[in-house]
Amino acid sequence: MSDTYIIEVRSEPAGIVVRDRGGFRFFAASETFQRMEGQYFRSAREAEREALAQVSARRDGSDAA
């Protein structure tokens, strides 16, 4: 099992997640995903879903957390 994953959303680099103490810590690759910087996720897939939600919220014009 890998300790680091690259997260991309719609061909846009979102960031990386690194395995750390029972979860994965997110490091943003662009300002779009800065809100997720430093957050912990239970899995890389969970971080990917949150990154997708960030892009969707931005396209919808809402400011979802």
State phi, psi for 14 to the nearest 5 degrees: -95, -45
65 falls within a domain: no
* 16-34 residue pLDDT tens: 999 988 899 999 999 999 9
Among 4-18, 30-44, 50-64, name the one with the lowest average pLDDT. Answer: 50-64
Q: Provide the pLDDT for residue 35.
A: 95
Is 53 contained in some domain? yes
- State the residue range of the domain holding 54: 4-60
Distance CA 36, CA 25 (A): 9
As a whole number of angstroms, the distance between CA 20 and CA 10 comes to 26
Domains held by the chain: number: 1
